[in-house]
Amino acid sequence: MPKFNVGPLNHVGVAVPDIDAAIAMYREKFGVTDITEPKDLPPQGVTYAFVNLPSGQVELITPYGDNSPITKYLERNPKGGQHHLCFEVEDIREAVTAMETRGMRVLNEPRIGAHGTLVVFLHPGDAGGVLIELMETPKADASHA
């Protein structure tokens, strides 16, 4: 089996039915001041905003368009909830090969995510019921983009 390990936890994805209300909640209830403006990411079918904390990011996501991958999740969890964990990897193609070699189902071809680097998702059925995103580590520090 090829040597491979994931890097740091990059973000926790949280699906929300109303992103403006969620941003207001993180500001008003938790006192977070560094929260990005919502941005649409049509190829991923989501609108996202980052809640920037000293230790990392919460990624708020809400559906964008008719075929969003989080629509079903929100139907099952109408108030929203924790949706995915994202680990950084050095090289996404090496990661995909390693994951497939280890019997994990990779759900998509690498595509550009919210940090501007390539991401893939792994089936939650292979990871203890948790949807895992792997993202290539940004070359420069774009983590607060």
User: Least distance in Å: CB of 25 to Co ion?
Assistant: 19
Q: What is the residue whose two structure tokens read 């919502």?
A: 38
CA dist., res. 52 & res. 59, Å (int):
9
Residue 72 interacting entry, from ligand LP2KCY5N, Co ion, none, C-beta within 5 to 8 Å by type: ligand LP2KCY5N
Query: 57-86 mask for ligand LP2KCY5N (x: CB under 6 A)?
Result: --x-x-------xx-xx---------xx-x
Q: Quick check: 13 binds Co ion (CB under 5 A)?
A: yes
Q: Quick check: 87 binds ligand LP2KCY5N (CB under 6 A)?
A: no
User: Which string of b and e fits 45-57 if b means at least 16 CB within 10 Å?
Assistant: bbbbbbbbeeebb
Residue 124 interacting entry, from ligand LP2KCY5N, Co ion, none, C-beta within 5 to 8 Å by type: ligand LP2KCY5N
CA dist., res. 36 & res. 130, Å (int):
26
Q: Considering only residues 119, 134, 136, 137, which one is a binding residue for ligand LP2KCY5N as defined by CB under 6 A?
A: 119
- Both tokens of 80, joined, read 């929203």
Please confirm, yes or no, whether 94 is among the known catalytic residues: no
Which is it for strands 111-112 and 118-122: parallel, antiparallel or unpaired?
A: antiparallel
In the chain, how long is the greatest CA-to-CA distance? Answer: 48
CA dist., res. 29 & res. 94, Å (int):
41
Q: Which stretch binds ligand LP2KCY5N (CB under 6 A): 20-28, 39-47, 49-57, 89-97?
A: 39-47
Active site residues: 133
